Structure 1
């Protein structure tokens, strides 16, 4: 097993080039390596503002579109049920084995933010992807110190991937 990216495009507002998916796979490898994660799967979905607005409202109670949402598979909230799998032998694996979680990116928000920040659409997508990945593995930015840690990690990955601010 290795660190893998599965992706899906559920929007038709902006084109996502196949060549850029290779860049996102590179970003995943760089981010995983920097965090000591060499195995697992990340599911990435591109959506429009309307879809991410609905998801943000449903899952976070926030009635507006956002740029990125992350749903960690290994995260256990206080109201979530523990999933128990019965297996015949120790060689059997549960169907969620190795799945780190889902990242959902609004391409419309990414385009808008890339214009607002004065950098490329690809850099913004890369930023949102690595930001989502860090959330999947437990990072957060609830206070200034935690935000500084995340920001430094994001920038280091993007620098290594060649997605620099211009």
Structure 2
């Protein structure tokens, strides 16, 4: 675990978040990378932001003019981690405001929802997609698996 990996968490959201959250976000991303067999180096930035910020990014890069919960941007030159010397490089942008609404809606804690979104974003960086029903189901199974691995159950 942790070989040639750098996972950073940047908070630009105004919300007060638990101090332990950064470590847990790093831990869950490491669990996903290990669980998915990533042996290459990895550099992942997680940015916790607000709805206006994620809405602007969603509009600029995906042409969707609304806030969303999570966006993933692979920054590696190859299309997957195994195709580039630098390994997996990417950013995961999470809206804390949308995560708060989702947590209430699905009766989860904010911490659990933020961890789930970090897992979801990491899976996207690894090439998982959720465009179809079966793909969404597969990703949800993985999300639950990795949430359990860090002590959260849904």
Partner of residue 42, structure 2 = 40
User: Where does structure 1 differ by over 3 angstroms across 4 or more consecutive aligned residues?
Assistant: none
Maintained 8 Å contact 1:126/1:163: no
Maintained 8 Å contact 1:46/1:104: yes
| Residue correspondence of structure 1 range 106-121 to structure 2 within 5 A | 106-121=95-110
Partner of residue 163, structure 1 = 152
Kindly state the Cα deviation for residue 100 of structure 1 after the two structures are TM-superposed: 2.2
Kindly state the Cα deviation for residue 57 of structure 1 after the two structures are TM-superposed: 0.6
Kindly state the Cα deviation for residue 149 of structure 1 after the two structures are TM-superposed: 1.3
CA distance in 2, matches of 1:164, 1:125: 13
Q: Specify every segment of 5 or more residues in structure 2 that has no aligned partner in the other structure, as ranges.
A: 80-84
Kindly state the Cα deviation for residue 27 of structure 1 after the two structures are TM-superposed: 0.5
- Aligned residue pairs total 146
Kindly state the Cα deviation for residue 161 of structure 1 after the two structures are TM-superposed: 0.8
CA distance in 2, matches of 1:134, 1:27: 11
TM-score of the two chains, using structure 2 as the length reference = 0.88
| Structure label with greater radius of gyration | 1
Secondary structure of the corresponding residue to residue 74 of structure 1: coil
TM-score of the two chains, using structure 1 as the length reference = 0.82
Maintained 8 Å contact 2:76/2:87: no
CA distance in 1, matches of 2:33, 2:78: 21
| 1:146 counterpart = 2:142 | no
**CA distance 1:75–1:57, change in 2 (3 Å):** farther
CA distance in 1, matches of 2:25, 2:107: 20
Kindly state the Cα deviation for residue 59 of structure 1 after the two structures are TM-superposed: 0.5
Q: Specify every segment of 5 or more residues in structure 1 that has no aligned partner in the other structure, as ranges.
A: 78-93
Maintained 8 Å contact 1:100/1:137: no
